[in-house]
Each structure stands twice: as structure tokens, then as C-alpha cells.
Amino acid sequence: MEESTIKFNIKEVKSDLLRAIIECSQRGLLHATKWLAELNYSLKDVKLEAHEMTTDISLIESNEEDDIYTLAKTYFDLKEYDRASYFIEQCKTPKARFLYLYSRYLSGEKKRIDDTTDVPPDPLKNESLKQLCVDLRKDHLEGNLDGFGLYLFGVTLKKLQLLREATDALVESVHKKPMHWGTWLELAALITDREKLESLTLPNHWMKHFFMAHMYLELQLLDESLALYCELQSMGFEKNGYVLAQTAIAVYQRRDVDNAIETFKRIIKEDPYCLDNMDTYSNLLYVKEMKVELAFLAHRATEVDKYRLETCCIVGNYYSLRADHQKAVMYFQRALKLNPQYVSAWTLLGHEFMEMKNTNGAIHSYRQAIEVNRRDYRAWYGLGQTYEILKMPFYGLYYYKQAQLLRPHDSRMVLALGEAYEKQDKIQDALKCYYKACNVGDIEGMALIKLATLYEKLGEQEHAAAAYTEFVMDEFRNADRAELSHAYKYLTIFHLKLEQLDQANHYAQKCLQFDETKEEAKALLRTIAQKRVKVEENPMMVDDMNETDPVDQQAARTDVTSGSQLSPMNLSFTPTP
């Protein structure tokens, strides 16, 4: 477990950042350079004295290979990767050697993407990638790989599905070059649970805090993640776009969409041309059905860069909200042409195919999302829904289980799993799920009515009445009038059988408000009136009734006037959450 307080010297952080920016830039690690530069900008008010600058003179001094390196680097920056690797092949300095190997890797990736058809190529049959791995392994055995070389070795091993070796190489890399954020991200993709995270031996460096916050968010440990991001903000990164976006995502995962939207608005105010993470912002606007705001975001993103991945995703969400699913599909597919590893686009594409009732397209898209990131609970959930539509409940159950494991405190996942169990007559498992959905905070307000209905089918009247009682306590949240009217009718009959006439009368009066139960309610009120007359004529009936009532019937009584109730949490059936 991380310590609750982050401690580091802010001037040392600034100095580390300046050095790492030069190193990453020289090696063509453009995204890492940009990320570090944004962190450094957050600390623009931190001033360093000359003796505090730790930049190694070897980073900027000239040598006999400098002219070759400069030429190759210009080709690399223009994405002429084969040309760059050709000219720099014989160079021996660490930065030149890395640029050579990295150019070979990116050349292979570019060709793979350019040649991609509907069926993704098998990375295990990629001969250029295999040869690159052989060369990197040789350098590693000879001790010639620095931190950046180890990063590339880890990425190559990961592509070839050698995951244990990849993890070891990436951990070794972060020890040698902890400032390279790209290595941390590649390592994060290999960590599946908290146990594996805690088993890693990581360097005691301030960058570790960014990694741990990122991992906690990925593993749905939201409280820990938010605590770390809040501390990072307090250490000087309160205006950093990345930290703010991660904070917004964590807040959204806790179902506080409004606060997450406000955080993204802060990011845009500070950096109006920023497109990073704006695809996530568009998802939030989509969920809230904020059409005007989403239209404005799509227009702004298109003006900034119409061919960015994020822009394609934003515009796709815009068309999806307008129910123009064909155009939405086109934009999500355009994003995937730009980057086949863009997991969000695969998942959203699956959603669009579901809307268009194209189950084959949906299954393919969701499976691709899982191939890219097995922690994408939306893709697992989407597969569960798709197989449910295809009347393949066992498959649906499997995928719902995976989604629920990834989001154990999301009532939607638990509820879907419960429904799948119920359809397969696994009643006890279904009850456990509905019960847990009530406990974790029922987002859609469906768990209680599902619990009550299932108890009613099982003939467990006291449990059903307890669940129905809690369900009707907040009648304004329930949009389905049929469910509400049925609950009132059930409670009327239940209390009438127990001779609890005041409670029966209360619920019967509620039944009068619904067309579905109005006539039955009138008949029930007449029965209640007749029973009251009998009680008035013979008061001893009440005493006799009380003596013969079973204990469990007494426990099931509800005092309507005082507002007390028997909730499912007090039921004798207490399934394991």
C-alpha cells in the first residue's frame, strides 16, 4: 500500500523533467516528450539555479556520429523509418543505437497498419518483429541495452506474447530510466490485478506515484487513485491537463458525472486547443444527452484537427446521439484506421452495431476491444448483451461474470449477472446478485423490484413484502407505473391476509391512483371495510388473532404510520455479497 503522503523535492523534479525531455526527444519518443513537457510547464514558476541543472553534457555535445544522427533524426521525424534506420545502422552511441532499433520497429508497425484488412494479422507471424526481438535479445545478453533499449525490448516481447519476459524487461527499464512515461504505460497494460501490482519491485522514484495512481484507476481502486491524484495536484500539478483528466475519469467512475464534466471544462479553459482525453469528455456528454455541448465540442475538435483519433471518436458520439448510426460507424472505423489499438473506438463501434442489430459486427468489435485491453468492462458487458440477444445464455453469463469482476461495485454489472442467472433458473445466485446490487447502490433502480418479483415467484411472501415495501418508499424514482401498481396491490393483499387492516387500507388507497389496479382496489377496500365492521362487533377477534399469529408473520409487519420497514438487509435470507 502506498504511503498516504507524497514527498519529493520540487526542484529535483523540475531538473529531472528537463533532462528527460532532452533524452526522449533525441530518441524520437514524441508522446513521452510531450507528456513530460506538459508536466514541466505545470512547474513553470519553479526556478532553478545554474548548479541545480543536472543536464548531462553528453546529451548535447557533438561527436563523430553527430552528423549521421542529425540526418537520420530528420528522416525519423518525417516518418521515413526505413531511410532513418539505413543511415544510422553503424552508429554505436546509445541514443543512435536506440533510434536505429526504434526506426525498425515503427517501420514494421506502419506497414502492418497499412496492410490491415478486416482480419488482423497474427503478430506471431511477423518476421521483421521476430528478427528485431532477436537483435534486442542479443544486445540485452551482452549488457548493451540502456533503459530506452530495454523499453523497446519489452514492447517487442509483449507484441510476441512473451508476457513474463516483457514484464521483467519493462521493470528493468523503469529502474534504469524511471522518467520515461511510455515504459510505465506499457508495464501497466501487463498488470491484471492488485496482487500482481504489489509483487513488482519498482524504483523508489517520484514517477512511481504517477504510475500507482494510474494503476489504481485501471484496477477500479477509485478511492486510492483519487487520493494520489489530489496529492499530486497539491504538489504543483493542479493545472496539469493529464492529472486533471485522470481525476475526472476517476470521479466519473464513481458515477459523479456532473463533477467530471466540470473538471473537463477546467481543462479546456486552461488549454482550449487540447484534444487529449476529449474523447472521454464526449462520452460524458453523451451519457448526459447534452446535445448542444457535444455538438460544440465536435465542431471545435474538427477545427483543431479533423484527423485526430479523439476527433473521430467525438464526432462519432455526436452522430450516435443523433441516432445517425451509419455515420457514427464511419467515424469510429476512421479512428481505427488511424490506430487499430484504440480500444474506446472498438467498444463504441460495438455499441453502434448493437443499435443497428448487426450482432456479428458487434461481437467482432467487442472481441477486438478485449484483445487490446482485457480490462475494458464495457466490451465484456456488450458481449454479454449480444449473446443474450442471440439466445445463447451460457455465453452471456460468462461475459457478464467477467464484466462484474472488473466492476464489482457497479450495480449494472451485478444486475445483468443476476438476470442471466435467473433465466437459467439459478435462483439462489440470482438472489445474491439482486441483493448485492441493492447494497452497492442501485443506479437504475431495478434491483429491488427484481428481488421482490423473484421472492414473489418463489412464494416467499414475507421477503417479497419487505422488498416491495422498500421499493415503494421512493415512488418518484420508479418510472414504470405497472411495477409500482403491482407492488401496492401485492402489499395490500399481504397485509389483508395478516388482518393488518390499517396497512392494507393504506396500500389499497395507493392502488386507486393507477388504472391497472383501480377496480381491484375498490373491491379490496370493501373487504377491508367489512373486516373492520366484524372487528368492531367482536373486539375479542383481535386478541385471538394476535395469539395465533406466527412469529415470522409478526416480523413481517410494517408500521406504515411510523414509516418503519423491514428491508432486505433484515431478511432471514442473507446471501453473500
How does pLDDT run across 320-378, given as a tens digit for each residue? 999 999 999 999 999 998 888 899 999 999 999 999 999 999 999 999 999 888 888 99
Question: What's at 84, amino acid-wise?
Answer: A
State mean pLDDT over 125-130: 83
Q: For 341, how many CA atoms within 13 A lie in the half-sphere containing its CB? A: 8
DSSP secondary structure letter of residue 20 = H
- What pTM was estimated for this model as a whole? 0.77
**SS3 readout for 76-95:** HHCCCHHHHHHHHCCCCCHH
Q: Retrieve residue 56's grid coordinates.
A: 548531462
Number of helical (H) and strand (E) elements in the chain, helices listed first? 31, 0
CA nearest neighbour of 39 among 237, 232, 278: 237
Separation between Cα atoms, residue 149 and residue 29, nearest integer Å: 12
CB 233 within 8 A of CB 243: yes
Reported as a single tens digit per residue, the pLDDT across 38-92 is 888 888 888 877 666 555 544 544 456 777 888 888 888 888 899 889 989 988 8
> Which range (113-127, 165-179, 351-365, 379-393) has the least confidence?
113-127
Contacts of 256 (CB under 8 A, 6+ apart): none
CA nearest neighbour of 338 among 313, 318, 317, 363: 313
Predicted pLDDT of residue 184: 96
> Which range (136-150, 279-293, 492-506) has the least confidence?
492-506
Helix, strand and coil content of the chain, in percent to the nearest 5, comes to 70, 0, 30
- Of residues 263 and 125, more confidently modeled: 263
- Of residues 337 and 567, more confidently modeled: 337
Predicted pLDDT of residue 122: 65
Predicted pLDDT of residue 116: 64
- Model confidence at 479: pLDDT above 90: no
Contacts of 75 (CB under 8 A, 6+ apart): 81, 83, 84, 87
- Model confidence at 312: pLDDT above 90: yes
- The model's confidence at residue 112, banded by pLDDT at 50, 70 and 90, is confident
Task: Give the length of the chain.
Answer: 577
User: Is the CATH number 1.25.40.10 carried by domain 409-570?
Assistant: yes
Reported as a single tens digit per residue, the pLDDT across 205-218 is 999 999 999 999 99
| DSSP H or E segment with residue 197 | helix 194-199
Separation between Cα atoms, residue 492 and residue 158, nearest integer Å: 63
State mean pLDDT over 515-527: 86
Predicted pLDDT of residue 381: 93
Q: Retrieve residue 148's grid coordinates.
A: 530506452
Reported as a single tens digit per residue, the pLDDT across 399-454 is 999 998 888 888 888 888 988 888 888 888 888 888 888 877 766 678 888 888 88
Contacts of 562 (CB under 8 A, 6+ apart): none
State mean pLDDT over 272-280: 91
- Model confidence at 120: pLDDT above 70: no
- Model confidence at 548: pLDDT above 50: no
- Of residues 136 and 6, more confidently modeled: 136
State mean pLDDT over 487-501: 88
Q: Retrieve residue 232's grid coordinates.
A: 499530486
Reported as a single tens digit per residue, the pLDDT across 178-187 is 999 999 999 9
- Model confidence at 316: pLDDT above 70: yes
**SS3 readout for 48-116:** CCHHHCCCCHHHCCCCCCHHHHHHHHHHHHCCCHHHHHHHHCCCCCHHHHHHHHHHHHHHHHHHHHHCC
CB contact burial 280-291 (16+ within 10 A = b; e otherwise):
bbbbbbbeeebe
Q: What percent of the chain has pLDDT over 70?
A: 86
Q: For 574, how many CA atoms within 13 A lie in the half-sphere containing its CB? A: 5
Predicted pLDDT of residue 309: 92
Q: For 372, how many CA atoms within 13 A lie in the half-sphere containing its CB? A: 20
Rg (CA), the chain: 31
For 141, other C-beta atoms within 10 Å of its C-beta total: 9
Q: Retrieve residue 384's grid coordinates.
A: 454479454
> Which range (56-70, 107-121, 366-380, 478-492) has the least confidence?
56-70
- Average pLDDT over all residues of the chain: 84
Separation between Cα atoms, residue 295 and residue 285, nearest integer Å: 10
* CA distances for 322 relative to 141, 283, 297, 316, angstroms: 57, 14, 15, 10
Residue spans of the domains in the chain: they are 409-570
CB 294 within 8 A of CB 311: no
Separation between Cα atoms, residue 60 and residue 77, nearest integer Å: 19
- Of residues 255 and 32, more confidently modeled: 32
Predicted pLDDT of residue 158: 93
State mean pLDDT over 261-282: 92
Contacts of 286 (CB under 8 A, 6+ apart): 294, 317, 320, 321
Output the CA angle 420-426-428, nearest 5 degrees: 115
Q: Which residue has the cell 487513485?
A: 225
Contacts of 102 (CB under 8 A, 6+ apart): 27, 28, 76, 152
CB 437 within 8 A of CB 414: yes
- Model confidence at 561: pLDDT above 50: no
